[in-house]
Amino acid sequence: MRIGHWDAQFGISGDMALGSLLDAGANLVAVNQSLERLGIPGLRATIRSTARSAIQCTAVQIEWQHTETAHLHRSYAEIERILSSAPLAAPVRERAMRVFAQLAAAEGKIHGCPPEDVCFHELGGEDTIADVVGSCAALEDLGIERLTVSSLPAGGGVMQAAHGQMPVPVPAVAVLLRGWLVHPGPVAAELVTPTGAALVAALADPHGQGVWPEMVVGGSGWGAGTRDYRDHPNATRFVWGVSPAAAAEVLHEELVEIETNIDDQSPEQIGYLFDVLGAKGALDVTVAPAWMKKQRPGVRLWVLARPEDAPGITECLFRESSSIGLRRRSVERLSLPRSIVVVDTPYGPVRVKVARLGNEVVNAAPEYEDCRVRAEERGVALKLVWAAALAGVSAPTEGPR
């Protein structure tokens, strides 16, 4: 099992949560692909490195095209429509819907109205939507199956909100954190925002809160908040790994394989299938040339998916391909536990996917996008960066910088 832990003892917000996931190895390209699918013009996340209490962190900035449709105030029903209609991967959509459902329930309780009638103010803006969907996409990219969290700081004082001055924690946070462990201070400021509290309430496992789960650590990273306090880092740390049993064993999964032959569709349309099937939750899509009846050249297409995603993928194939018949079978997948480590090379940091059999590293593959960026930055051949990343696998750092 892949486990993630938010060390949020100094606070958590939407941008801090997303920054910590990206700093721990989540792919920014994968996150921005999910944001693009929301249909909000120009919506994307950019990152930069910064320091909080001398700790290097990733700071996230959300950008979008400021049009007449870009605004801060959206109803819960409108956000539901955006998420349900976007071609997001099923786990990303489901997690994001849970987060906004928690926010709507909390706001509804405070204002005395049903959740479906809630109109978000600051929480309905493009940046909040991007923080939530981006965090859910990053969790999916890291393969997190169980998420835990530390105790959370109460903060203190007052802050200015859309409805005037509010005590800290603000009312929505107090409602969202019912049943969760909270500790005093450490400063009189807002340290847990409603978005951060909703991510915790919707996605984290309340059992064992306050202690790190047992895991073989695969990576960690820090996400920076906008303020820089004197005596503590205004940052959230994310740590991920695998359970000790999973780290030592070959993983067994029951999956579904869907197969079809296609001989009357253009290559461009077949290429498009890779994107739309991935958005539906496909774990793998493979196309191979085939010689069809009546001497026609064609392709054979295979899709590997989790059982719960198979119906949506089946419908997608019938809608987007020219196939009118599919073959479907249950398969068992055996896979090695893998983790992402970050290697410091002479050309800069590169993420490398490492697979282990027991305690032995048996395979390592540098991330192509990291190698490409480093090669372009330094004006060297891609193969040199690739070789340097492989050579450094034995001495990785904890997270990207």
Residues 264 and 358 in one domain: no
Considering the chain, what percentage of its residues have pLDDT values greater than 90? 60
Angstrom distances, CA of residue 218 to CA of 3, 21, 143: 10, 13, 12
Residues 372 and 260 in one domain: no
| Residue 398 domain flag | no
Residues 228 and 312 in one domain: no
Residues 168 and 289 in one domain: no
Residues 101 and 181 in one domain: yes
Task: Using DSSP, state whether 206 is helix, strand or coil.
Answer: coil
Give me the residue label for tokens 């909080």. Answer: 52
CB neighbours of 94 closer than 8 A, spacing ≥ 6?
none
Q: Which helix (H) or strand (E) holds 133?
A: helix 126-142
Q: Residue 401 has what pLDDT? A: 32
Going by pLDDT thresholds of 50, 70 and 90, the confidence category of residue 173 is very high
Residues 199 and 277 in one domain: no
- Strand ranges across the sheet with 44-52: 44-52, 55-63, 216-224, 235-242, 2-7, 146-149
Residues 19 and 150 in one domain: yes
Going by pLDDT thresholds of 50, 70 and 90, the confidence category of residue 399 is very low
Burial class for 323, CB neighbours closer than 10 Å (0-12, 13-18, 19+): middle
Q: Residue 117 has what pLDDT? A: 72
Q: Residue 312 has what pLDDT? A: 92
Q: Find the distance separating the first CA and the last CA of the chain, reported in whole Å.
A: 26
| Residue 399 domain flag | no
| Residue 62 domain flag | yes
Q: Residue 118 has what pLDDT? A: 76
pLDDT of 9-56, one tens digit each?
999 999 999 999 999 999 898 999 999 999 999 999 999 999 999 899
> 295 is in which domain, residue-wise?
251-335
| Residue 36 domain flag | yes
| Residue 396 domain flag | no
Residues 29 and 147 in one domain: yes
Q: Is the pLDDT score of 133 beyond 90?
A: yes
Residues 45 and 138 in one domain: yes
User: What CATH number does the domain containing 329 carry?
Assistant: 3.30.70.1380
| Residue 401 domain flag | no
| Residue 132 domain flag | yes
Q: Is the pLDDT score of 70 beyond 60?
A: no
Range from 42-51, 248-257, 313-322 carrying the lowest mean pLDDT: 248-257
Residues 51 and 108 in one domain: yes
Task: Using DSSP, state whether 345 is helix, strand or coil.
Answer: strand
Residues 168 and 90 in one domain: yes
Going by pLDDT thresholds of 50, 70 and 90, the confidence category of residue 86 is very high
| Residue 264 domain flag | yes
Task: Give how many domains the chain has, as a whole number.
Answer: 3
Q: Residue 278 has what pLDDT? A: 87
Q: Residue 124 has what pLDDT? A: 54
Range from 89-93, 98-102, 216-220, 225-229 carrying the lowest mean pLDDT: 216-220
